[in-house]
Amino acid sequence: MKMIYYPGWTLKTKFRNLGDTAIAAMARLGVDLEELSRWNC
């Protein structure tokens, strides 16, 4: 299954390890997360 997600600036800067962990966990559940293109805060 493929899902689009909005990372926001926090996951791209301060909490990058949390975002990476969430993506890995979702992959283990069979969900392919794709970052929303051209997102804006």
Task: Say if 30 falls within a structural domain.
Answer: yes
Task: Say if 25 falls within a structural domain.
Answer: yes
Task: Say if 41 falls within a structural domain.
Answer: no
Three-class DSSP labels, the chain? CEEEECCHHHHHCCCHHHHHHHHHHHHHCCCEEEECCCCCC
Q: Which structural domain range is residue 20 located in?
A: 2-35
Q: How far apart are CA 13 and CA 7, in angstroms?
A: 10
* Predicted TM-score (pTM) of this structure: 0.73
Task: Say if 13 falls within a structural domain.
Answer: yes
pLDDT tens, 1-36? 999 989 888 887 889 899 899 999 999 999 999 999
Q: Please state the domain count of the chain.
A: 1
41, pLDDT greater than 80: no
